[in-house]
Structure 1
Amino acid sequence: MKRFLKILKWTVIVLLSLIILLIITTYFYMKQPQFGALPEGERLELMKKSKNFRDGTFHNLVEKPTITKGYSMWTEGWNSLTKTYPDTEPTTALPSVKTDLKSIPPDENVLVWFGHSSFFLQLDGVKILVDPIFSGKASPTPWGVKAYKGSDIYSADDMPEIDYMLLSHDHYDHLDYETVKALQPKVKFVICGLGAGAHYEKWGYTQKQILEKDWGETVAVKPDFNIIAENTHHGGGRGFSPDKALWLSFYIQSPKMNIYYSGDGGYSDRFKTVAAKYPAIDWAIMECGQYNKAWQSVHELPEEMALATTELKAKNLLPVHHSKFTLARHPWKEPLEKMTKLSAGKPYRLATPMIGEKVLLDNGSQVFKQWWKDAK
């Protein structure tokens, strides 16, 4: 009995020591710059004035549980660790095109998609970069989620001077420390949600560069050209402090055309509201990928995205949030396959460019190949 108690005592000591060591290691690891910074001081006081900020965090317009009724966070986590799902990432390099962004004529209205939700937009001579990820990963750790082969052909060096860099929210698959740090000398202004400026300031951006916005606020770029921060139904956070930075969608209003970028977010009535507020959407750039019925409230299913695009009354659809990172269990091709079927006969035109392919925004007859069919 004494021997058993002695063994038990030492087992408890070893376990407690390991737990303490893990806590200390995690604490110091979280001090690394890629985790960003929490808002404080004047930035925090500005956040407190927002009607969307309550009890220390930002909130969606309509509160919904992240996990769908009938599903369990624990079960979903366990399934992710113990089950395998087929074809969640390609086995060969994805086809891509390397467009020289620096040589695009300033009078061309073009979009170049880099995979997932990253894209370059030149509109009426204004150069905009959205949610750029060029580090090859969507994780703060070196062993985390990696980009698919062929999907990471661009770097910060390939970017031209950027007038406005837009951030939809501060999750790692949209806000990448290495990329943002490298781009700082090229970027005139960053437009992000309230609170997110703390990350950029920690990473060397000046206060003049950072434009933090609440839902409904506008950045006047030049006459008849506005970038408007709008709402979405999602969340934010890096580390263990969620929802300290506001998540956004964007409406880009220019003399040439109007573009809506959904950011991440589950389906809601907001698309009808956006259509009523902005009745002439030429292009809808919509999240389509990394979805699951278990977290349907914060990521749209393909059929919901098709419905949302119809409700927006958009003329053209370009689906994003796919073909670069595996963050869900569906086959990697599924978003493109489903959206192609769901878009048949719809009032909008579906655009499915390869990574790096130039999308001519003024050209309604441009043809896009179903490039994923030949990819493995």
Structure 2
Amino acid sequence: MKRFLRILKRTMIILLCLIGILLISTCCFLRQPQFGALPKGARLESVKKSPNYKDGRFRNMVEKPTIAEGYSVWSEIYKTLFKDYPRLEPIDSLPSIKTNLKAIPPDSDVVVWFGHSSFFLQVDGVKILVDPVFSGNASPLPGGSKAYKGSDIYTVQDMPEIDYMLLSHDHYDHLDYETAKALQSKVKHVICGLGAGAHYERWGYEEQQILEKDWVDKVKVKPGFAIYTESTHHESGRGFKRGQSLWLSFFIESPAMNIYYSGDGGYSDRFIKIAEKFGNVDWAIMECGQYNKAWQSVHGLPEEVAIATTELKAKNLLPVHHSKFKLAKHPWDEPLGQISVLSQSKPYRLATPMIGEVIHLNDSTQIFEQWWKDIN
């Protein structure tokens, strides 16, 4: 019996030591710069003053469980580990176009999509870059999601000088450390949610470059041109502590046209409110991908995207958040196929460009191919 107790004691000591080593290693790993920083000091005090920051974190307008009724976290983990899902990523290389962004005439109003939620927008001479991820990775963790073949042809070096870089939220598939750090010298201003400036500050951005905003805030660009930071229903966080920076959507109001970017987020009545507040929406750039009925509170389904675009009274729809990373369990091309079917007979026009293809925002006759249909 004594021998058994000695062995048990020794085993427990070894186990506790291993747990301690694992915890220390994890803490050291999370201290690497790619994980960013939490707000502190004056920034944290500013965060705490927000009406959207309650009980130690930012909150959605209406609180909903992330996992929908009838589903559970454990069942979703089990499915991820043990269930096979077909066609989660393409076998073939995706077609793309390498546009010289620096040669686009300054008087051209265009969008160039880079896959997932990254895109370049030029309107009324203002150059805007949104949620850029050019490292080929959607996560800093080993074994994380890698960009599909052919979807990662653009680099920081391809970007022109940027007037405003917009960040919808700080998840890794929208805020990439390598990309953000390399862009610092090219970007005049970053517009991000309260608290998210801590990441940029750690990565070498100057205080005057960072514009941290709450919901229903406004950045005056020039006469007749403003960028509004609006709400969405989502989440944030790059480590164990969640909800320490605010997630955003953007309404870009310019003399040339009005553009709405949804950021990530589940369906709610906010689209009706955006239409009531701003009126005319020429282009809606909407999250449409990486969804699942289990977590549709934070990522809208294609049918909800079609409804939301109609509620916005948008003239044109550009669906994003697809065709680059495997982050959900639907076939990689399902978002494009579904939204194409759902958009038939709708009052808006659907744009489905290839990666890198120039969308001429004022050309209502531009034709877009269903480029994904013949790809394995």
Amino acid at match of 2:42: E
Q: Secondary structure at the residue paired with 2:297?
A: coil
Look up the match of 1:240: 240
Q: Secondary structure at the residue paired with 1:250?
A: strand
Look up the match of 1:141: 141
> Considering only aligned residues, what root-mean-square deviation do their CA atoms show, in Å?
0.9
Look up the match of 2:166: 166
Query: How far does residue 13 in structure 1 lie from its aligned partner after superposition?
Result: 2.3
Look up the match of 2:129: 129
Look up the match of 1:330: 330
Q: How does 1:1-376 map to 2 (within 5 A)?
A: 1-376=1-376
Q: Secondary structure at the residue paired with 2:115?
A: coil
Distance 2:19 2:76 in 1: 25
Distance 2:355 2:18 in 1: 45
Distance 1:14 1:331 in 2: 44
Distance 1:45 1:263 in 2: 26
- What residue ranges of structure 1 are gaps of 5+ in the alignment? none
Distance 1:89 1:12 in 2: 44
Determine if contact 1:118/1:132 at 8 Å carries over to the other structure: yes
Tell me the percent identity: 70
- What residue ranges of structure 2 are gaps of 5+ in the alignment? none
Distance 2:83 2:70 in 1: 19
Query: How far does residue 143 in structure 1 lie from its aligned partner after superposition?
Result: 2.6
- Where do 4+ consecutive residues of structure 1 move more than 4 Å? none
Determine if contact 1:95/1:375 at 8 Å carries over to the other structure: no
Distance 1:34 1:256 in 2: 37
Distance 2:233 2:141 in 1: 27
Per-residue deviation, residues 303-349 of structure 1 (Å, max 9, x unmatched): 00100000000000000000000110000010000000000000000
Determine if contact 1:250/1:262 at 8 Å carries over to the other structure: yes
Amino acid at match of 1:32: Q
Query: How far does residue 14 in structure 1 lie from its aligned partner after superposition?
Result: 2.3
Moved more, 7-16 or 96-105: 7-16
Amino acid at match of 1:375: I
Per-residue deviation, residues 75-133 of structure 1 (Å, max 9, x unmatched): 11122122221100111110100000000000000000000000000000000000000
Distance 1:110 1:269 in 2: 29
Q: TM-score, length-normalised on structure 2?
A: 0.99
Distance 2:79 2:245 in 1: 30
Q: TM-score, length-normalised on structure 1?
A: 0.99
Distance 1:375 1:205 in 2: 41
Amino acid at match of 1:158: D
Query: How far does residue 2 in structure 1 lie from its aligned partner after superposition?
Result: 4.0
Amino acid at match of 2:160: P
Determine if contact 1:181/1:204 at 8 Å carries over to the other structure: yes
Q: Secondary structure at the residue paired with 2:281?
A: coil
Determine if contact 1:139/1:145 at 8 Å carries over to the other structure: yes
Number of residue pairs the alignment of both structures matches: 376
